Amino acid sequence: MGWVVFGQVGLAAGYILAIKLISVVLDVEEFGRVALGWTLINLVQLTLFTPLAQGLMRYWSISVQQRTLRAFQEVSGKWMIRLVFASILTALVLMAVAIALHRERWAAVIGLSLFSGALGGCVNGDMFVMNANRNRKAAAWFNVFSACLRPGVGFVLAVGFWKTAEAVLLGYGLVSLLMASASRCFLRGRIFKSVGKPEPKPEPQSEHQVLSNRILHFSWPFLPLGIFSWIQQSADRWALQATLGAEAVGRFAVVSQMAFYPMVFLAGILQLFFMPIAYSKAEEHSGPGEGAFRVIIWLVGAFLLLAFLVVGFLGLFQEELVVLISRSAYAGYHAYLPGMGIAWGLYYLGVVLSGFGLVAETSRIYLPAGLVSAIVAAVGCFLGASAFGPQGVVAALWLSGGLYAAWNGWTAYRIACGIRKAHPSGFP
């Protein structure tokens, strides 16, 4: 648990460092452009690489038990490469569209962001495997270095060359390239060679295809969930960009990120610790039961308690925190900080509640909740921003986050009741 905490603390420190360094060196409008670039980085990672990473984490222990690590290594590497090339191709198409629309500066932001997002997604996928193997020390260090080096190098490039969003995002891309190379070398040199005994015979190609199909079968429902999650997380900034411009995005992004990252931190650290245990419990009993669901209940309870404390802290020191993390030029929207804390707390409550479906391997059941919540967030943020400005955006995220949490809570109850009826011996 100590290394999980260390890695997530380092990740949170990197997020704070990014806001502080970038907001100091760039003016508010350029920071707003960087914030929109961050949403594109998240787009690649949430919609492409996180689904694959979930599948890799799920089937790592199975591959160890079945002694098919060679197949796992080749399948994971091939899919990482395919997703990187898909991201680059998408970037080239979008850059061409931006240039055709005479938005050359946005073309550079799009290209650098998607490139950085793809390589960062490779690092995240490798860290999922490290955590599945209980190699939390290595995963923690990769988390810390990646989170802190990216804004650090971006800051250096902005100070030394151009005080623009492009310089910052170039720094993100260079560090992501370095970290992706390092994480893949670590997996090949340390984990794949050290876990289990050598396979007794070469694995047939059919074994690779079977494993690839199983991973993809488990992973694909996370693709639409990733799209819905991205809309939820990014609608506020794009709505403000469309209605009020990049300067408003810059000011609001500081508040939104300050409220968002603590909830990501809490959900991430709790899931990294509890979910592998829940998966192991489900594997031991050939399916989810009392042990696996009890672990998820502890996960949800811990998140609720800690999220309540975070929102209270944001409410008590809202203006001081905004000035401390950024600078006085961004303090105009400090009153929205606790409201955004509640909005993101509600949404990530829904995320941790989805653990019930993950251990039951029924992740598709969350697609309707994600779709409706994303639609409410997108439509609500654009309408709210047009009518009421930032306050309307906060209200829209309250509505969508609360809907997502309530829907997933009801789904968790249905899953638990259904398993109880089907396997009464697995419950007291």
Instruction: Give me the tens of pLDDT residue by residue for the chain, a chain 428 residues long.
Output: 677 778 778 878 888 888 989 998 998 999 999 999 999 999 999 999 989 888 888 887 777 777 777 778 888 888 989 999 999 999 999 999 999 988 888 899 999 999 999 999 999 888 888 877 777 788 888 888 888 999 999 999 999 888 899 999 999 999 999 999 888 888 776 666 555 554 554 555 567 788 888 888 888 878 888 898 899 999 999 999 999 998 899 999 999 989 998 898 889 888 878 887 887 777 666 555 667 788 889 999 999 999 999 999 999 998 899 988 888 888 888 999 999 999 999 999 999 998 888 777 776 788 899 899 999 999 999 999 999 999 999 999 999 999 999 999 999 888 877 766 655 555 44
Q: What is the pLDDT of residue 173?
A: 93
Q: What is the pLDDT of residue 198?
A: 47
Contact of 48 with 121, CB cutoff 8 Å: yes
Rounded Cα–Cα distance for residues 45 and 53 (Å): 10
Q: What is the pLDDT of residue 289?
A: 61
Q: What is the pLDDT of residue 427?
A: 46
Instruction: Specify the residue for token string 């398993």.
Output: 419
- pTM (2 d.p.): 0.83
Q: Which of 276, 12, 267 is nearest to 131 (CA)?
A: 276
Q: What is the pLDDT of residue 309?
A: 96
Rounded Cα–Cα distance for residues 54 and 284 (Å): 19
Burial class (CB in 10 A: 0-12, 13-18, 19+), 4: buried
Contact of 335 with 31, CB cutoff 8 Å: no
Rounded Cα–Cα distance for residues 41 and 394 (Å): 23
Q: Which of 203, 269, 194 is nearest to 71 (CA)?
A: 203
Q: What is the pLDDT of residue 300?
A: 93
Rounded Cα–Cα distance for residues 107 and 122 (Å): 23
Contact of 406 with 348, CB cutoff 8 Å: no
